[in-house]
Amino acid sequence: MAQHATLGASSSAKWLNCPPSARLEAQFENPTSIYAEEGSLAHELGEALLRRDANALKKIMGNAWYNSDMQQHCEDYRDFVLELLNEAKAITSDAVLLLEQRLDYSLWVEGGFGTGDAVIVADGVMRIIDLKYGQGVEVSAESNTQMMLYALGALNSFEMLYDIKSIIMTIYQPRLRNYSSYEMSVIDLLTWANDVLAPTAKLAYEGIGEFKAGNHCRFCRAKHLCKALAEYNLEPTEPEMKPSELLNDEEIINILNRADSIKKWLSSVEEYAFAEALNGKKWEGYKLVEGRSNRTYSDPDKVADTLINAGIDQALIYEKKIKTITALEKDLGKKPFNEIVGDLIIKPAGKPTLVVESDKRSEWSPADNAASDFENTDVTSIN
pLDDT in tens, 170-222: 999 999 999 999 999 999 999 999 999 999 999 999 999 999 998 889 889 99
Q: What percent of the chain has pLDDT over 90?
A: 54
Mean pLDDT value across residues 282-296 = 85
Same domain, 219 and 320: no
Same domain, 53 and 150: yes
Confidence of residue 341 (pLDDT cuts 50, 70, 90): confident
| 64-120: pLDDT as tens digits | 999 999 999 999 999 999 999 999 999 999 999 999 999 999 999 999 999 999 999
Same domain, 255 and 197: no
> Which residue, 349, 355, 347, 348, is CA-closest to 378?
355
Same domain, 116 and 54: yes
Q: Is the pLDDT of residue 33 over 90?
A: no
Same domain, 179 and 327: no
Lowest average pLDDT, out of 237-241, 242-246, 334-338, goes to 237-241
DSSP string, 252-302: HHHHHHHHHHHHHHHHHHHHHHHHHHHTTPPPTT----PPP-----S-HHH
Same domain, 85 and 222: no
Rounded CA separation 257/251 (Å): 10
Rounded CA separation 354/367 (Å): 17
**Dmax of the chain from CA atoms?**
84
Question: Is residue 94 situated within a structural domain?
Answer: yes
Same domain, 61 and 178: yes
- Can you tell me whether residue 221 is helix, strand or coil? coil
Same domain, 160 and 29: yes
Q: Pairing between strand 124-131 and 164-173? A: parallel
Question: Is residue 153 situated within a structural domain?
Answer: yes
Same domain, 196 and 234: no
Element (H, E) at 73: helix 68-91
Q: Which residues contact 373 (CB under 8 A, 6 or more apart)?
A: none
* Counted domains in the chain: 3
| Domain that includes residue 222, residue range | 215-239+248-278
**Average pLDDT over the chain, rounded to an integer:** 87
Q: Which residues contact 112 (CB under 8 A, 6 or more apart)?
A: 5, 7, 8, 9, 104, 105, 106, 149, 153, 201
